């Protein structure tokens, strides 16, 4: 059993409005920043857990994401190993 | 000028307490989920912007992150191109 570092990115589904992202998008020009054509804000979760191997670690993280980190009604998530980033 | 998709991940610096992450970490065992040894929650920003090339797009996103997306006093950020994830 080794410790594996995993990243879970949680985003609102594309059809769900993201007021926070919209607010940032609208603020860009008034701050003298270049405009973006879209900008959405989600959650970035970095976690360390013990597992036999990387595949098992990703499975455990997926279980966590499904039941606790993401709301499957309005959010999608992606799980990946964290390799220096 | 083409549209480039960029991801900015914003995390609290390691020395800054993350109460939200700690709450999730503590909730794992009571939900029948495997324990994690650490868990921290940050922001995951996906944006599209027009730029000459990928390097220019990443530079623009870095400028946005420095001035608007992250608070450099308490947060670190990473900028990367978004390739199918």
When pLDDT is cut at 50, 70 and 90, the band that residue A84 belongs to is low
Which chain B residue shows the shortest CA-CA distance from A66?
Answer: B33
Instruction: Please write the tens of the pLDDT for every residue from B28-82.
Output: 999 999 899 999 999 999 999 999 999 999 999 999 999 999 999 999 999 999 9
A82: left (phi over 0), alpha (psi -120 to 50) or beta: beta
Check A24 against B60: CB less than 8 A apart: no
Cβ separation A85–B80 shorter than 8 A: yes
Residue in chain A nearest B76 by alpha carbon: A85
Among 3.40.50.300, 3.30.420.40, 1.20.140.10, 3.30.1280.10, name the CATH number for the domain at B2-81.
3.30.1280.10
Whether chain B has a CB inside 8 Å of the CB on A44: the answer is yes
Look at the pTM and tell me if it is higher than 0.80.
yes
Q: Of the CATH numbers 3.40.120.10, 3.30.1280.10, 3.40.50.1100, 3.30.70.3460, which one belongs to the domain with range A2-16+42-81?
A: 3.30.1280.10
Tens of pLDDT, residue by residue over A9-63, are: 999 999 999 999 999 999 999 999 989 999 999 999 999 999 999 999 999 999 9
A76-79 contact pairs (CB < 8 A, 24+): A76/A10, A76/A11, A76/A12, A76/A13, A77/A8, A77/A9, A77/A10, A77/A11, A78/A8, A78/A9, A78/B85, A79/A6, A79/A7, A79/A8
Alpha helices in B6-77 (DSSP H): 19-27, 54-64
């Amino acid at each position: 059993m080794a410790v594996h570092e995993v990243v879970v990115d949680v985003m609102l589904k594309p059809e769900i409005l993201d007021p926070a992202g919209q607010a940032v998008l609208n603020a860009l020009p008034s701050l003298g920043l270049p405009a973006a054509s879209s900008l959405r804000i989600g959650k970035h979760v970095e976690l360390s857990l013990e597992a036999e191997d990387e595949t098992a670690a990703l499975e455990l993280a997926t279980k966590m994401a499904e039941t606790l980190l993401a709301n499957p009604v309005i959010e999608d998530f992606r799980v990946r190993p964290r390799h220096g980033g």
